Amino acid sequence: MRSSLALALCALPLATASASHSARGIVDAADDEYDFVIVGGGLAGLVIASRLSEDSNTTVLVLEAGGTGDDVADRINTPAYTYSNGLVKSDYDWAYTTTAQSGINNHAASWPRGKVLGGSSAINGLYIVRPSEIEVSAWHDIIAEDDSDAAEYWTWDSLHAAMNKAETYTPASSDLQSLATISDDSDDHGSNGPLHVSYPGYSFQAVSDYQSALNSLGVEHNPSPDAGQNVGTFVATSSINPANWTRSYSRSAYIDPISRDNLHILPNAYGTKINWDTGNSDNLTATGVDYSTDYGVSSKTVNAKKEVILAGGVIGSPQLLMVSGVGPSDVLSSVGVEVVNDLPGVGQHLMDHLGSAIIYSTSTDTAGSLLANGESSAEFLSFVNSATAYVNLTTMMGGDAVSTLKSSATSALDDSASNLAPSSDDTVKEGYKTIQQFSANMMDQSVGGIELLLNLMGNGYVGITAAIQHPLSQGRIYINSSSVFEYPVIDPAYLSHEADLPVLRAGFKFAREVATSDALSGVFGDESTPGSSVQSDDDWDAWIKDNVYTEYHPSSTCAMMPKSKGGVVDAHLRVYGTANVRVADSSVFPVPLACHLMAPTYGVAEQAADMIRATYNGAGESGTATSSGSGPEETSEGDNNGAMAAGPAGLVGVLAVVVAFTMM
């Protein structure tokens, strides 16, 4: 009997929207001047643009390097297509690559990022997983050293309210809750925001079995993972609209439902340089942005009457700062960029979740096997995520081993900063130590040191991905050209700190225990990767160095830390040394967060919009989101995402995407 069930989350009719996105505010040419110019029409940029343009007397321009995505709407909208017919390695993917990484046997890692309206929220794995309160409190404390008042924007309560403001949560139906062991935590979510947060309309008995396996090994079910403590096992919420089982992302949620003459969005427009009025010796004032449609094409200039806001992500935002003369002077001078603001922390403190998957054969139904058999209902094609777990290190390694590891990491902070920090600047080294101390402190706390994700997307195989959440390794991004059309150098310095490898090793060993537990004996068959020959620590380490990859969660290259610690932005998200330039995206996180970064990035964007509006017109309240919800409601079309694709074309060959199912 099939161990799966198509289940509606609620009694909502399927929407019948038109087959193409509505072009709300999308223009072919920009005006000469706007109040706000936002560079980057990804997740954060579109949120901020939508919120700022709620004020009818405010004009906003968004410059987005990618296209609209209208011609690939079905590939964006259908959740299951993410892992089989998605946009990775297409024209809508920046397709970045890291440098050869000495810590992983000189392998270079692929870093896909969304190059389309909506950014990575249009191509990622739809996970909505929030950080824990202890992590956000550390974030607050770091920036409160400089500005205790503005730091109130970054308390857990404030960020939690901002994440809630972004979303409308729909719980799973009682049948789905029973089948997949899903709890209703409506009290911890928003109910009136633009972004739909829900669950796939289809699940498998194996999802519940996986959680039972973790329970048997001391990892408890977490009924409220989004309330400030995500350690434990649970089924993650996803950015899915249960009205039509489509992806809900920043464009469909914040832009498509509105029609405003004061908001312009210009696709296929690369921000190439920020222009400065250098007359004020204390703080640079941005006068506008140069932009171009392609390399070698003459640039145009748009003026910003109030602010320039960078939302280009962990790679694009520091790159644009550097080519505009803001960043480490040695880097800028080496490529002929005039230094207007020597800010050593730009591009530094790069961190990422690093992981891999252990793979087993299976004879049970999986998403891949049902696809091969022609399953194509809208509910089924919404299946994209299942169960995950955030496991603390003590559970995996034991208290004594964790204590030894923490002591070693803490005692070596100065040596690590001197020998491993990818900068000779003392302020950057101080920030390096601050972040390392945070990660060391997390080792013995009730917080996720490793994420373990169940993978049911294959045909004839199942897997568990293990990924480190608080790496001590830090890298950097830097330019090697004065042109934004030349990709920057991306060096995450994977496994450069000796403490990261034993943590990853413990994660994979624990994943094997989960896979071979009695609760999963009917699901997991023979181990194919890495295979039973991998047993000793040396075996594991060799396999790890040859097989790890990004979990697609890079952060912190424009870190919100004191300038004395290599910070780039203050608590108001303003770039140090500038009067009117802010950064608002995942590059501002000052510490690594044990979560998928989409949820906190929505929170950052909502907070950014709130504080900017408060600066100019008094809207909003310092430190908190303006309401528990509310958002674009100006048309009846809403977040419908066009028509669902009718069938599973291109979905059967899903084996190749086992390593790409955890994006964001």
What pLDDT band is residue 385 in, cutting at 50, 70 and 90? Answer: confident
pLDDT of residue 23: 55
**Residue 191, beta-bridge partner list:** 168
* C-alpha–C-alpha distance, residues 482 and 504, integer Å: 38
| Cα-to-chain-centroid distance, residue 273 | 25
Task: Quick: pLDDT tens for 477-513.
Answer: 999 999 999 999 999 999 999 999 999 999 999 999 9
Helix, strand or coil for residue 81?
A: helix
One-letter amino acid for residue 97 of the chain: T
pLDDT of residue 660: 40
Note whether residue 634 is domain-resident: no
Question: Could you give the number of structural domains in the chain?
Answer: 1
DSSP E strands: which ranges in 293-339?
A: 300-310, 326-327
- Checking if the pLDDT of 90 tops 50, the result is yes
Contact 638, 257 (CB under 8 A): yes
For the residues 317-335, what does the mean pLDDT come to? 98
Q: Is 335 annotated as a binding residue?
A: no
For the residues 201-227, what does the mean pLDDT come to? 98
- Checking if the pLDDT of 556 tops 50, the result is yes
* Residue 330 DSSP class: H
Q: Residue 183 belongs to what domain range?
A: 33-616
Note whether residue 409 is domain-resident: yes
* C-alpha–C-alpha distance, residues 76 and 137, integer Å: 35
For the residues 13-38, what does the mean pLDDT come to? 71
pLDDT of residue 160: 99
Task: Quick: pLDDT tens for 257-272.
Answer: 999 999 999 999 999 9
* C-alpha–C-alpha distance, residues 34 and 232, integer Å: 47
Contact 550, 561 (CB under 8 A): no
For the purposes of burial, counting CB atoms within 10 Å of the CB of 102, is it exposed (0-12), middle (13-18) or buried (19 or more)?
middle
Task: Quick: pLDDT tens for 224-244.
Answer: 999 999 999 999 999 999 999
pLDDT of residue 639: 65
pLDDT of residue 280: 72
Question: What are the two backbone dihedrals, phi and then psi, of residue 278, each rounded to the nearest 5 degrees?
Answer: -95, 15
For the residues 3-11, what does the mean pLDDT come to? 40
Place of tokens 């060096």: 491
Note whether residue 408 is domain-resident: yes
pLDDT of residue 655: 36
- Checking if the pLDDT of 204 tops 90, the result is yes
Note whether residue 66 is domain-resident: yes
Enumerate residues 6+ apart whose C-beta is below 8 A from 523.
206, 209, 210, 362, 364, 462
Tokens of 369: 């096997």
Note whether residue 99 is domain-resident: yes
CATH number at residue 72: 3.50.50.60
pLDDT of residue 624: 52
Task: Quick: pLDDT tens for 598-640.
Answer: 999 999 999 999 999 999 987 544 455 544 455 665 543 456 5
Share of the chain above pLDDT 70, in %: 89
What pLDDT band is residue 122 in, cutting at 50, 70 and 90? Answer: very high
Residue with more model confidence, 487 or 15: 487
* C-alpha–C-alpha distance, residues 42 and 65, integer Å: 10
pLDDT of residue 618: 74
Note whether residue 16 is domain-resident: no
Enumerate residues 6+ apart whose C-beta is below 8 A from 373.
none
Query: What is the residue-averaged pLDDT of the chain?
Result: 92
Question: What are the two backbone dihedrals, phi and then psi, of residue 513, each rounded to the nearest 5 degrees?
Answer: -60, -40
Share of the chain above pLDDT 90, in %: 86
Catalytic residues: 553, 596
Angle (CA) 85 98 596, round 5°: 60
pLDDT of residue 278: 79
Note whether residue 632 is domain-resident: no
In 3D space, the residue among 583, 555, 95, 38 whose CA is nearest the CA of residue 321 turns out to be: 583
Tokens of 545: 């160095």
pLDDT of residue 577: 97
What pLDDT band is residue 386 in, cutting at 50, 70 and 90? Answer: confident
Note whether residue 28 is domain-resident: no
- Checking if the pLDDT of 418 tops 50, the result is yes
- Checking if the pLDDT of 657 tops 80, the result is no
Residue with more model confidence, 427 or 641: 427
- Checking if the pLDDT of 15 tops 90, the result is no
pTM as predicted? 0.93
In 3D space, the residue among 47, 128, 21, 48 whose CA is nearest the CA of residue 598 turns out to be: 128
Angle (CA) 661 663 664, round 5°: 140
What pLDDT band is residue 279 in, cutting at 50, 70 and 90? Answer: confident
